[in-house]
């Protein structure tokens, strides 16, 4: 019995010693491999750090070069970010190559593909806005500082980023519109050309000399709002209204935002009213005729008596 217990104990000791020897040999092998690969590891780290430093330095130089061009701020920011990302990724892959980790590199690329697919499916809306932001950044028809009208909002463009476009409206509020909404819907840029056409509608009495009215109106507009070469004031009579002959006058104005159009129409209306007063041209009020001859009106007084009986 005692011999059996001694044999079991000795067997356990031997197995433990064998396991420890194997673990020790494995660990020693790892240490030897690390020592042998230490120069390559240090070289890979140094190369990766150099790529990061070089990317930062060259990105500053690239930023100065882009700022000297007519590229808008959002284009500069996106270009710098993409440049630095690509350069750092190149340094990472070069470091893996120095370490002879081609298998790891293949695994990283495979995992990156799977993760990219999952992220793409989960963030479809966000990625749509991101790509739309890249498109908007490189479109010269909308830039920071422009006055635009889109998605029922009007305002100055204050920022274009990878998620949204920010407008500062006339009431000094900020509105963020997703980039995809602007790309998918039409927008009007009032700052792309500072000359546009404004319209004022009015009417004159039936007794008026229409040719004289046209002459006076055009002269008044041209005096209040001088037209550039190739531009002219145009007046078109539109309809015989209920109490006036209606017309529409069109003229060129300098318009960089919605307020410019309001000021131009303000000046035009003042000039037209002053010219009409000086030349006795009537702008009639709406007239409504009431005929009491055919319809007799009568009123009757009804007397209602309340009888209260005593009980």
Beta bridge partner(s), residue 176: 166
Q: With 60 as the cut, is the pLDDT of residue 121 above it?
A: no
Cβ neighbours, 10 Å, residue 53: 11
Cβ neighbours, 10 Å, residue 266: 12
pLDDT in tens, 263-282: 999 999 999 999 999 999 99
The kind and range of the H/E element at 196 are strand 195-204
DSSP 8-state secondary structure symbol assigned to residue 227: P
Cβ neighbours, 10 Å, residue 163: 15
Residue 122 sits at φ, ψ, to 5 deg, of -75, -30
pLDDT band at 130 (very low <50, low <70, confident <90, very high): low
CB 88 within 8 A of CB 55: yes
Read off the pTM: 0.50
Among 220-224, 281-285, 289-293, name the one with the lowest average pLDDT: 289-293
Q: What's the pLDDT score for residue 302?
A: 45
Assign 149 to helix, strand or coil: strand
pLDDT in tens, 138-163: 666 677 778 888 888 888 888 777 67
Which of 301, 172, 198, 299 shows the shortest CA–CA distance to 253?
Answer: 198
DSSP string, 247-284: EEEEEEEE-SSHHHHHHHHHHHHHHHHHHHHHTT---P
Give the whole-angstrom CA distance, residue 13 versus residue 15: 6
Answer with the residue of higher pLDDT: 114 or 192.
192
CB 223 within 8 A of CB 271: yes
Q: With 60 as the cut, is the pLDDT of residue 122 above it?
A: no
Contacts of residue 52, Cβ cutoff 8 Å, sequence gap at least 6: 88, 91
Which of 189, 200, 201, 198 shows the shortest CA–CA distance to 254?
Answer: 198
pLDDT in tens, 161-185: 767 788 888 788 888 888 777 777 7
**CA dihedral sign of residues 11, 17, 19, 22:** negative
Give the whole-angstrom CA distance, residue 47 versus residue 283: 83
Give the whole-angstrom CA distance, residue 311 versus residue 305: 19
Please identify which residue in the block is written with the tokens 């005729």: 289
**Chain centroid to CA 163:** 8
Mean predicted lDDT score pLDDT of the chain: 75
Burial (Cβ within 10 Å: 0-12, 13-18, ≥19) of residue 173: exposed
pLDDT band at 2 (very low <50, low <70, confident <90, very high): very low
Among 31-35, 62-66, 200-204, 217-221, name the one with the lowest average pLDDT: 31-35
Question: What tokens appear for 169 in the block?
Answer: 């409206």
Strand order in the sheet with 153-160: 174-178, 164-168, 153-160, 147-150, 187-189
**Quick one: average pLDDT of 300-307?**
48
Q: What's the pLDDT score for residue 56?
A: 85
């Amino acid at each position: 019995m005692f011999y059996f217990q001694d044999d079991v104990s000795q067997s356990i000791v031997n197995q433990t010693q064998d396991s420890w020897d194997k673990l020790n040999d494995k660990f020693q092998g790892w240490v030897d491999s690390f020592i042998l690969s230490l120069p390559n590891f240090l070289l890979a780290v140094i190369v990766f750090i150099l790529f990061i430093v070089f990317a930062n330095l060259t990105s500053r130089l690239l930023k100065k070069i882009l700022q000297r061009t007519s590229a808008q701020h959002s284009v500069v920011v996106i270009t710098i970010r993409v440049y630095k990302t690509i350069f750092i990724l190149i340094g990472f892959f070069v470091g893996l190559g120095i370490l002879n980790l081609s298998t790891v590199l293949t695994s990283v690329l495979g995992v990156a593909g799977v993760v990219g697919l999952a992220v793409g499916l989960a963030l479809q809306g966000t990625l749509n806005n991101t790509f739309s932001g890249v498109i908007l950044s490189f479109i010269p028809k909308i830039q920071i500082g422009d006055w635009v009208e889109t998605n029922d909002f009007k305002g100055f463009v204050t920022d274009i980023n990878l998620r949204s476009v920010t407008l500062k409206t006339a009431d000094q509020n900020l509105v963020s519109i997703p980039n995809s909404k602007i790309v998918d819907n039409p927008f009007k840029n009032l700052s792309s050309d500072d000359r546009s056409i404004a319209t004022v509608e009015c009417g004159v009495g039936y007794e008026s000399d229409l040719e004289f009215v046209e002459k006076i109106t055009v002269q008044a507009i041209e005096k209040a709002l001088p037209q550039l070469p190739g531009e002219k004031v145009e007046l078109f009579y539109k309809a015989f209204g209920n109490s006036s002959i209606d017309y529409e006058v069109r003229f060129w104005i300098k318009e960089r935002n919605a307020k410019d159009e309001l000021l131009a129409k303000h000046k035009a209306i003042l000039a037209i009213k002053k010219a009409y007063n000086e030349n006795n041209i009537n702008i009639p009020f709406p007239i409504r005729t009431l005929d009491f001859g055919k319809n007799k009106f009568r009123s009757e007084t009804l007397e209602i008596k309340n009888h209260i009986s005593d009980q």
